Chain A
Amino acid sequence: AQRVTQPEKLLSVFKGAPVELKCNYSYSGSPELFWYVQYSRQRLQLLLRHISRESIKGFTADLNKGETSFHLKKPFAQEEDSAMYYCALGGTSYGKLTFGQGTILTVHP
């Protein structure tokens, strides 16, 4: 069975501080990991995927297969980063995604 765990429901940081949103997964196959973000009053959208190894809006995430983790990081948080973040696991048939419980990030001025 596949599972995604985001241990923090809420995360608060101050503007300019580093931020790390944790994501751990369990999956026996070759995983595809994603981070989705939902800003206030906007639809859920893809932030980044591990396979592209890119930085979006200053965020990066590295897949660590040994620790089965895909933590999302940003060195200097901005107020506009405040949102709900979901980690998602793919790699199964039919393109299904398994989502974590989500982390609400609040960046204070």
Chain B
Amino acid sequence: DGGITQSPKYLFRKEGQNVTLSCEQNLNHDAMYWYRQDPGQGLRLIYYSQIVNDFQKGDIAEGYSVSREKKESFPLTVTSAQKNPTAFYLCASRGDSYEQYFGPGTRLTVT
């Protein structure tokens, strides 16, 4: 099951630590996205990237950072500045159409 992968599936961190979530795709898609999924709030866009070496803030970028050094990879760092980091994080990529292809997600728990 290739396409778009995220690792790890579960991640536990202590408060105050930065943590990086991995997202890789082999679909040759230019655009990639990071969402946060919380119960009752749907998916909220954190960051997105249209092309290598370029990315923009989404609706809830505070406390997060990203990089896009390679077309295949779009890692997300959850910093200690993020006040409520415990959530389910979804990565997606998009080709020429509006359809976004999603990864399996990473569940981050910060205690």
Contacts and interface: CB of A to CB of B under 8 A. Distances in A.
* Interface size range of chain A in the complex: 20 to 34
A102 B42 contact: yes
B83 to A, nearest CB: 21
B105 to A, nearest CB: 7
Interface string B80-91: 000000000010
A98 B42 CA distance: 9
A12 to B, nearest CB: 17
B42 A45 contact: no
Interface in B54-82: 56, 58
B50 A94 contact: yes
Interface of B: 31, 33, 35, 40-45, 48, 50, 56, 58, 90, 94, 98-100, 102-105
Interface of A: 4, 6, 9, 32, 34, 43-46, 49, 86, 90-91, 94-102
